[in-house]
Chain A
């Protein structure tokens, strides 16, 4: 019988862990993409929207930011089950995290749009551009650059928040790691391995953000 080392155990657990990474990545991707799109809409409504609509988004943002993410996750999974609405754990998790992140993204977009100097919008008006044209060609390209740093921040937070979904039984990287540990009792080694994998994933997002920031560096005032 071969000796049991970390490396042999890692090899044995490779499919479970890779599957965990895949689920974590998939969850993160859904959450980041959905919250980016919805946050863009939310931010636009906050800045330009019809007053009652803007107030509604404002209320949503403030409520969401005030509730712990874990409570949101439990609500979508167990809370709705009380009303005989059953959502698969994966999707309950996506909805909970995306709903939470949307609140943050809306605020990020609002802040970025409002930080574009008023003169930019005036100059765009003065050459006869209409509202959507001003947004598309003048305001949003400039806001994008200001969105990037806080956007990366929120994206990274959301990747880490997917670990909370282990509580409702989504076998993402953390739960996959825990299940592996339950078989081989190599607690420290496998938690460290999972930590490293989370770091790699988040570091990649940070680098992507930095790359995009450099890409927009010509946009100085």
Chain B
């Protein structure tokens, strides 16, 4: 994996386009502004961890990236292409549903509550996008699904329905479903928060494996040990702003921001 000590500076110097670029993203629910100008770059192969207290806007920002949430101002580009909106005749408009779906297919997402399709087996869950979105023949889709289910350690469970699987197993199927689409990046939204403590490790293990293989990931997580271990860069959000960012070793060892210091102080033992 590349080293991303100063990713913004690096991309500016080389002129290379980042995989994902967010510029001044604002989002409000009615009059409550939850994102107050988020800007960040994510480079290919990077594992970016978004941390912060609940209500800081990290999950909302993640959901803006594949337009599960609309945002009113700013721009998010994937490979230089603006996501969800286009300026036509000086007005900002949502792009048509077909174009939006095509963009979403390039971004994987794993949810806190798994959201597996309960009427499909593990294998069918993984196959659905491959056949209906990627247009692959069923036999090929099945091979890909089996490959990924094996990769997440569930080869034996491919014929099981979600209710027959533990939370950890369901979440690993959900990860397989997301990565089987060969997305440009995968978003992880507090994917271990709904799991029993003894099931967290198996999911984090799969994510670590993906990170090592060079998958670009944006991870919203409260698992600080995992973040310190796996993230190439950490972004700390508070009150709808990016307050601090940097490689985890630097950021955690010597937090300049008072807010970050008090946030990290809650994770006793991890940073002492």
* Contact surface of A with B, Cβ cutoff 8 Å: 117, 119-120, 122-131, 133, 137-138, 141-142, 216, 218-221
**Cα–Cα, bound, A129→B102 (Å):** 8
**Cα–Cα, bound, A221→B194 (Å):** 14
A residues in contact with B163, CB < 8 Å:
218, 220-221
Q: Whole-angstrom distance from the CB of A210 to the nearest CB of chain B?
A: 19
> Which residues of chain B (59-114) have a CB below 8 Å from chain A?
66, 68, 97-98, 101-102, 104-109, 111, 113
User: Sorted from nearest, which 4 A-B pairs have the closest CB atoms?
Assistant: A128-B105, A127-B129, A123-B115, A119-B115
Interface-centre pick from B66, B113, B132, B181 (highest chain A CB count, 10 A): B132
Q: Is B270 an interface residue (CB 8 A)?
A: no
B residues in contact with A142, CB < 8 Å:
117-119
Q: Whole-angstrom distance from the CB of B165 to the nearest CB of chain A?
A: 12
> Which residues of chain B (3-19) have a CB below 8 Å from chain A?
none
Q: Please report the total number of B residues contacting A with Cβ < 8 Å.
A: 29
B residues in contact with A119, CB < 8 Å:
111, 113, 115
Cβ B108 vs Cβ A126 within 8 A: yes
* Contact surface of B with A, Cβ cutoff 8 Å: 66, 68, 97-98, 101-102, 104-109, 111, 113, 115-119, 128-129, 132-133, 161, 163, 174, 177-178, 181
Known contacts A122-B111, A218-B161, A221-B163, A127 near B118 by CB under 8 Å: no
Cβ A128 vs Cβ B129 within 8 A: yes
**Cα–Cα, bound, A133→B134 (Å):** 13
B residues in contact with A126, CB < 8 Å:
66, 68, 104, 107-109, 111, 178
Q: Whole-angstrom distance from the CB of B213 to the nearest CB of chain A?
A: 20
Contact partner of B101 (CB less than 8 A), chosen from A120, A129, A219, is A129
**Cα–Cα, bound, A128→B129 (Å):** 7
